[in-house]
Structures are given as structure tokens and as C-alpha cells.
Structure 1
Amino acid sequence: MLEPTASAGPHEVTWRQIEGLVDAVQALIETGVEEPRFYATLLEHAVRAGAAAGGAVWAADTDTFPTLCASGPSETPWSAGGESAHRHARFLQQVRASGQAQTAPPGAADAQGPVNASAFLLLACPVALEGRVIRIVEIAARPGSSPEAARTYLEVLATLCALAADFHRRARLKECQQRETQWSRFEQFCEQLQGRLDLRSVACAVANEARRLVGCDRVSVAAPRHGTLRVQAVSGLDAFDPRSAPIRQLEQLVQRAAVLGEPLFYGVAGQSAPAELETTIDHYVDQSHVRALVVLPLAETDQDGPVRTAPVGAVVLESFAAGPGQLADRTTLASLARQTRLALARAARYERIPAVRVWERLGRWRSASGWSRLALWSLPAAACLAALIFVPAEFRVTCRGQLKPQRESRIFAPRDGRVEQLHADHGETVAAGQVLATIQSSDLDFERTRLLGEIQTTTEQLEALRTSRLGAKPLTAQQRDEVARQTAEEERLKKLVASLQAQKQILDSESEALQVRSPIAGQVLTWNLAESLRQRPVRRGQQLMTVADTGGPWVLEIEVPDQDAGEVLDARRELGPDLPVTFLLATEPSRVYQGRVQRVAQICEPDDRQQLSVTAVVSVDAAAITQRRAGAGVVARIECGRRPLGYVWLHDLIQAVRAWLFV
């Protein structure tokens, strides 16, 4: 069970195996495999990784816990039946109820009796989706496994179940995307039907749009004509021969299917055609060479519910490929039939209106002869157009931003480490140079300890060398050479001690930097520092907190949309750099405040919504703002002078048209 080999450390081997296993399952998820194959492969990996006897995957969304896939000898609980299976089901119920991974050693029992009558150690982990357990992965570990190996195996199993939950989330997302696409197509289908009234146009719209909706190769629409159903439209064809053999065979099939009043399926998995229509279907298939066929009879219903005997039409869906596409999707077919039935019934009622064609032509002629009304409406339209062009109005650029103190300093971590102690919290007033936090760096402590050890060792070597030289009397040439060597070694050790002392001073300065100090006097703005920082690891350059001078000047930092930045820059050149600004505070929307543009950035940057904008700073009268809150949202309007009324109202549209014409 994930036991290490002798050639490598146990943690290295175990984590290498786990990473390989997780990567394999993640790669399987990326392929979009079906659920049975996914769980079979996941179970195979899990059993092989732990050298287990076998495993099983259970569907936990029902009380019967059906098996999705299983492996292992006959002694496993899922291979046994009778009372053993009933006991094992109680163990699965416990896992589902707790929502946590559980183990059941041999002979384990609950209040009702034993739950594991096998000789295996059972490890079960739930797969949860949106807070509900939908699957349970269970492994039968071999007897004799160590508790540490069992815990490791259970953690691996929990990781695999988390990946399985991700698999289900992806499958549900894919299903929602497919459903959204299908509903978009269905909406287009309904729009096409609503724009037509006569029977021929409705039938053509149904034939062409239903083909895209269902994804089949051909759609035909039949409607009553002289007491029988006749084909009115075929997708992809502007005209067809109503006397051709395939059309006649199709009309005969549609008429007989309409008598039954139920949808007819041929060549669709899980569906069978009525025996009394087999001969008619065979004749039509021989003529058309289709591989799959669906006939949807359409009949109006009374208000009380019973179906009328006379149908309003029928829709025939055909596929020439081996796969029938969505012909087996009963929900799509039911929606298609319902909307088509309503459209054909409306078209039939429309065509029963006496002299309907005459009334149509009369309506078109009446709409076309409205010259007097056109002249009457031209005068006010011209007046409105002149007002839009020649009447000036105040042009304002609307922006969003924040209210903040002008002096603001962000405090960053000087080194990797752990926040040992906090000396300030949200809302506290601090002085310049005051310690805000103490960071403890294990790397720096280790380096300092190592350096002190080297200094001590080198100093002892130097003292020993000096001591040995005190009583030395060089008489021979060899002794004089030894004295010279010791002198050189002493100089080297002195330089080494000086270098180590310099390194110690650098470490001392870095240790001092771990006392994080405030560069300015002000107030701590960051919320909940104790929970977010205390005893937590930090990285070098990570922002720890923000200190601002709330008693000094305040400014607005607003984001001017990229498309309006040119208007602001032009207005600054024409009217002066300090353009007037009016703004509302989110904390006090009932009052309007005034300000002046102080400076505008020279570059565009993406804002929080990833839209390009230009940052502008607006000076305000802090004393006039009673509800000062750092970071409070504001809606500001920059006064950019006077422009034509039409441009003021429609400048967004004008800019969009200009961009469209340029592209």
C-alpha cells in the first residue's frame, strides 16, 4: 500500500507515486471520458497504487447503492450477498450521512451489528457535488497494512474523490452549456415561427429551422389539404415534385402515423416502430435510404384535454448517417412538436379568414401610400435634429473611483518568514518609525547561527595560532619557514574574521529590517490584521498593511474610461488643467461634493474589471466631507465644457459608430 522501496526515501517515493496517480486521473478528466469508463480507470489506478485486493464505486444518490463498477475476489463485501451485503450497506449509509472518508477494519460494527464481515480493511470516501454525496469510492485493503500506510492511502483516496467531484462538475457544466446552446437554437426557432402567418411560410420555416435545432439531415412538414396530410415543405428544397414516389410514400406513412396519434421511431436506440406500420416504413426506407426516422403527429387539444381526431400536421425528421443525432431526445422533440403545432394551427386559422390575400394586399398598399403622414412628421423630426446639432449642453464624463487620504503608504514584507507578533491593528494611530509587526525568519536565524559559529571557530583558530607562536624560537631554516607560514595563516584568519564580522553586520541590519516600521505617521487601514497575518507565513514583497495620514488632505482616485480619456485631455487643454468635478459618495449619496482635477496619468491600464482606463487624481475639501471613509466608492462627473446636445446624449453611440467605420 504505497510502501517505499529501499533505494529511495519513503516520502519521496510515496509522493512521486501520488503525483503520478493524480496526474493520470487529471489527464483522464481532460479527455472528457464518459462516467463508467472514468470510474473504472480511477478504480484501477487506486487499487494498483495501494496494492489493494479490489474496490468498488457505488451510486450514493439512491438508498439501494447500485454498483457502477467493482473488482476483487469473491470474499469482498460487494461480491457477497444476503446478510453480508445488508451489513455493508449500513457502512455506506454512514459514509453518505457523514460526508467524510471512513474506514472499517475487519469485524467493525455499529449499534445494529457488524458492518464489515470480511477480512479486508475497508476504506470508503464520498464524492460530493454541491454539498450532496453522489458517489462513494471504496477500496478493500489487504490485511496487515500499517496504520500509517492506511492513513496515507485514505488521503490518496480523498484526493481521487476530489478529482472525481471535479469530473462531475465539468460534466454538469458541459451539460448546462449544451442545454444553453439548445435553448438558444430553440429561441431562434420560435422567433422564425412567430414572424410568419401563411401556412406555406410556416411550413418552410419549421423544416429549415428544425433541421438545425435537432441536428438531423432532413426535415419534412405535412399539413392538412382536402382532408389528408400533404407534404408542404422539405428542408433545403425551394420546390419539390409532390407526385414523386418518395413524397407519396412519405405522405402515406405520415397519414397512418397520425391515425395512431403517437410519435413514430425507426432506427433510434431504445425505440421500436409499431408492428402495423412496419410494411409502410420498409417501403419508404427503400425509397429514401434513411437510417433513422421520427414522425411527430401534431394534433390540437381541447381545453378539457382530450385530443381531437383531425391533426393539424406532422413533422418528419430523417437521418442518413449511422448515428441519429438528437432524434432520441424526447424533450427536444416534445418542444419542437408543441411549437410547430401552435404555429400550424395559427396559420390554418389565418388562412380560413375570408379573402385573406386581398386584405394582405390592401394593408401593404395602405402602408405604402403615407406621403402626407411622412410630410407631417418630417417637420418635428427636422426640429429635433436641429436642436441636437445646434443647442449646446454641458458635457460631463462619468467615472467611478475611491476616496482616500493623499498620503498613503503600503507596508511590504522585507523577507520570507512568519509574522511573529503584531504591534498595531485596524484603526490604530501610529507614529513614523513605530514598529508595526515583527517577522521571524528561520532562514535568517539559521544563517546567523552558522555565521556566529564560523566566527567563533575562526577566532579560536587564530588564538591557537598566536599561542603557538609565543614560545617559538626559530633556529633552523625549517623553523623559520614554519614561522613565516604561521604568520601568513594568521593574516588570512584575521581577514576571514573581518569578513565574517562584516557579514554579521549585514545580517544584523536584515534582522533589524524584520521589525517592520511605519514610514509615516497615520492610521492603520487594513482590516482584521490579527486573523490575516498573525503567525502566518509571508513572502518577500507581500503587502502586509496600509497606513495613511487620515488627518491630512484627501483626494479622489478615479478611473476615466479609455474611450473618454481624450475628451478629458482636450478639455484640460481648452479650459485649464484643474477641471471642476462633482461627485457622490457611496456612504452619503444624498449630498453632492465638489473637487478639482489635480493630475491625470499619461498611460492606460486595466482596472479591476480588466477594462482599460486612465487614472485621475481629484483634490477635494476634506473638511466638507463628514463621512470620510478610506476606500469609499464614488461616482464622479468631470465637467468638460459645452458640446452640441446630440453629442452629449449620443457620444457613446457616435464613438461606437466611428470605431465600427474604422474597422
Structure 2
Amino acid sequence: MAEGNSVRDRIIQLAREIEEFSKTNMPPEAFFDEFLKRVIGAIGAKAGAVWMLNQGNQLQMFREIGVQDSGFFQQPDAAAKNQKLLVDVLSNGQACTHSKGEGKDLPSDELLILAGLQRNKELIGVVEIFQRADTPVQARPGFLQFVEQMCGYACRYLDRMGRGGSAMTAELADKFENMVLQVHRSMDVTEVAATASNDARLLLDADRCSVAVRYGKKTRIEAISGQDSVNHRANLVRTMASLTKFVIKMRETILYSGKLGNLPKDIEEPLADYIQESGSRMVMIVPLFDREVVDPDSEPQFFESEEKDSGNSKPKDKPIGALIVEQVAESTPKHGLVERTELVAPHVGFAMANARRHQKLFLMPVWKRVGRFASWFRGKNLAKSIAVLMLLIAFAVCMIFIDYDYRVEGEGRLMPIVSQDVFTPWDGKVIEIYVDTKQKVKKGTPLLRVYNEDLNSQLVAAQSELSEKQQYREALYAEYNKAFETGDRQETVRLEGEIVDVEVEIRGAMAQEVLLRRRIDDLIVKAPIDGTVATFQLEQLLLNRPVRRGEVMMEIKNEAGPWRLELEVEEARMGHIIRAQELEARTDLEVEFVSATAAERKYQGELANIAPRSLKSEEGLTVYEVIADTDAKQIENLRIGAEVRAKINCGKQKLGYVLFGDVIEFAQTHLWFGDRKAEKNQLTQTSLPRGSTKVE
């Protein structure tokens, strides 16, 4: 039902447009071109033509649409047969239809609809419409009536032209036709207003043209000729909108040409304000209407007779805006300006009404995009789309049903398990280095010597004190011998006591000297284990450098022993490793890695330990340290600290999760907090034993 109403409304609109054209002064060629377009479009005909009497009183084709292209005149005797039908209509003045099967010799198989054209009650031409042959019989009277009605409007146009109406020049007719085409090209209100204002100014030869649009109770200036945009805060625009609002309410055209004259008093004040602001000497404001006809008591008709009383037919000439035309230099309208403005205004109104109805449709931008998208799936694109769709379905099936190894990636280094840091035994300065980087050493091999000035000073002091004590002891022995020879018993006893005390002091001084020498000997740092010096650029790093007790000076690593991978795995990946260990009931998951020193080969290993707590990586990420054992014999170009990229096999997962697991985990982390929090809690509470990695 809605579709039928839409068709009837369209036919009524086309009939209204023909009626409006009949009131204009457009050239006959342009009028009958527009006339045929709308008649053919309204009844869905195939072609049409207008035949007019020439100076020799012979019917000659004046304008046509689709007749030449249909090959009508290429048929034998078609022109003669058709001429006979036209003469019959021209002689009796009766509109008629002809179809195959009526017994007449017809020039075509189509249904022919013919109606006469009169000027001053004299037949001067015929309108011929070529309708489809399969048109239902019951619809033909309606089509005939419609064509006859439209010919009535054409006759009025011919009467007006015969009375000497001011016709357009050919140049103006071309400009008018171009403007009509341009203004109906867009369905955007702003674009229609801009096109109408600029093209109308050229057609009307005015100084300025503007288009106002009414939105509810508010009137808005949508476009001003010569301007890309409208500043709605400008005084000129505000006073123009205020004046136009009153004119739209009046629903009548006003023309100001220097004097108020008979203009309504309600618009005198806003008109005076606008004239003062704009400086225009002539202002013409023509309301624009959305012309519709709705009969509330009956079904919509294809047309309405002019003689029919409008009691049941309710015109909905809804004002939707206005066309403002201005002259600045002179107050008298230029020749033909008023007539051309009245000709242009209905077309601007039609275009504006269509654009507004179009924009009012719910979600129209969305439907446009949907329509453009759907139109792409036509022709060859449909086969392409089906092929792509099948590929996508196959891809989705593979993602859902195919299992594949899910491997967690980690980066780290390849290191020997047996290693030992070399510490500073005492505060001091490194004065000698006995080894080089990568030099192999045995346990006890001197590595470097540290000089401590305090220890050396203490040793010198201890040696001096020991020497003094020893000299004092010699002196006491000499006195003791002298006293013994003289038989001084008392002096002998005293000296024996002093000698005993000095002996004790000498033994203490000797022990202090030995201790200091041992400490100085310990300043020669020796290798704690067999291995290789792993610290780089020892001289640049340590020579003549002050060091403190307990500070790490170098590393010794045993390359001949077992090796391991020291990996860093992001916290978000640890859940997969823990779940894999629980499902497989073992901790030694398979590890595949690539060494930077032999990137062309892949090596195998086994997960050994996981650190019980997280730490911050150099990049600032939260990571867990993971240890994996490997057979060093299989690795080519084995180097201490070589960078490795490892993948820990965490069991089977769906292929889709293997490829797009990062996206899924991102969504889980940011949208489904419960699962991710539970996983983090589980990871925090899980602590696997981690063996010692250093040789004490």
C-alpha cells in the first residue's frame, strides 16, 4: 500500500510540475522537452512526440523523446500510417487510444495515445505517446485521461505564448535549463541552497541571491551567492533571517523597490533594518513551498481537474523557505527579473523539498552506505564475493577445529651453569692484571693484584716495632749478663721479668707482621675455579681503579661444564606454562631455541626452573626468569652470553588461538578482568624450586 501511495504521489508531483511550467515564459522547445519527460515518466511509457503544423499546414515532428531511437521510422509505411492517425485527431479534436487487434492498420505494435493541442481554440498539433503493448485494458482510460489533462496545461501555455508573453532568449533558456538540472542534482539541503543562490544570481542578473530555509519556527540563511559559507552571527545575516521569517509567515511574495507602498506593516520594521544593514535598493522575497496534495477521504488520484472543487482536496503548500533577490545599484527591477524569479522559485522549492524529505529519512547516511555496499555485489563481483566468502569460511573452520602447538616465546642468554664471581678481598686500587678476556685459567691462578696503602703502612709499622722490641731485648740480655757477673741478685731478678715481658711483646709483633703479610698476599686475587675469564676489557675496566671490599671484579665461567638458557618470559605468558605443566604432570617442557651465533639452526632443550618472583626487565616490563637445560655439544659457535630466542611448547591449542592469541588475551585483560586476575593470583602463588647456579 505504501508503495502504491508513493507512485501516486510521484505522478501528482509530475503533473504539478507541468502545470507550473505552463505558467512560465520558457521557450516552446524547452517546455515541450520538459512536458514529454514528465508525461512519459508519469505513465511509464516507452516514447513520445509532439507534432505541430508548419507553415505549409503539414504536421511535422516538433519534439520527441525515444521515437528516433526506437527505429519507428525505419519500418515500412510507418510514417504514412502514423500521419493518417494524426490527421484524424487533428480533424475531430478527440483524444483516443489505438492498439493492435482493433482492426486498424497501425504503424506500431505499441499502445498509441493521441491528444490534440489547441491555441486560441484552434488545433495546431498532436501529442503522441507510445505506451507498452502489454498495458492492462482497465488502465488505458486512466492513461488517456491523464494525457488529455496534461495537454490541457500545454494548451494554456500555447494560449499565453500566442498572446505575446515575454519569452526567454535562447541563452536564458539554456541557463535556466542548466540551473534546473544543477539544482535537482543533489539531495543535500546545503548544496541545493548553494547551487540555487549562485545559479539564480547569474540567471536573474541580480547583485545578490540568497536562500533561506525554515526549520520549525526558526528561519536559517543556508546560502548567499558568492560566499562559500554563511556567518550566522553577522548582522546582515541576522536581519535577513528576521525579515524572511515574516515573509514566510505571510506566504506571499514581497517586492521592495525603494518605497514601502502597500507592504504590510508587520514587515516594515524588519525590512527597514535589513535595508539599512545591506544597502540594497531593491529586495524581492519569494516564499518556497513544498507542494503536495492529499485527499483524506479518498485514494490519491493521478491528477485533479481544474474545475473540481477543492472541498475534498486539501492543498498542503507548506512554506519551507524563501528566495531573496537583491539589487544594489538601482531600485527598479531589471527587465524580466520579476518574471524569471517567479519561474525559478518553484524549481528551487521543489528541489529543496525533495532534499529535506530525503534528509528526514531515518538513518539515511547509513542506508546510502549500505546501498553502495550492496550494489558492489553485482555482476562479476558476486562470484568474487562468493569465492572470498568460501575462503573465509574455510579459514574460520581451520581456526576453530585444527590443533597446533602453542609456544610461549622468551628471550635471554646462553650461559654455563658453573660460574663464579671474583670479589675484591680488601679496599684498594688495582695495580696489576695477570690475565686477559677469554683466557682459560686453573683454580688458584693469579688474576690481578690490589694495592692497599693502609696495609703496607701497618706492615712497616709492625716491622719497625718488632725491630725495636728485638733491640730492647738484646739490651736487656746485656744488662742481665753484667748483673749476673757482679752477683747483683735483685737486679738480675728485675731484668729477668722485663726480658719475659719483651719476649711476649716480640711474639705479638711477629704474629701481627705475619697477619699483615697474609692480608697483603691475599691482595693477589686468584681464580676460585677452573674456567674462562668472561669479563670483557679487563684493563680498561679495572686497571688503576679504586675498588672496595666485596665488589665483583670479574667472572670465571666453566665452558667445559653443562650449559643452560637464562630466559625472560613476560608475566602475561606465564599462565600458559603453568597450565601446561599441570596438564602434562611434568615440569620439563620442551624448549626450542635459536642462537644468535648460529641462527640457521634450531636447538632443543628442556625447561628446568622458574623463578618464584617477578622482576623488571631493562625495557621496564614485568618478567619471570626461566631456566632451561640444553646440550652444549649440539650448539655450533658456542659463546658465553650469546643471545637466544626460545619457544616453550605449552601443548596443543586451536589454530585460531595460536595465531590470534595476543588479541584474545588483550580482550580478556581489558574486558574480562575476573579470569585474568585469577590467572595472575595463581601465577603469584605458584613457586617452583630453583637450584643453585653458582659454585660456592
Q: Please classify the TM superposition score into its range, dividing by the shorter chain length.
A: 0.3 to 0.5
TM-score w.r.t. structure 1 length? 0.42
TM-score w.r.t. structure 2 length? 0.40
| Structure number with larger C-alpha Rg | 2
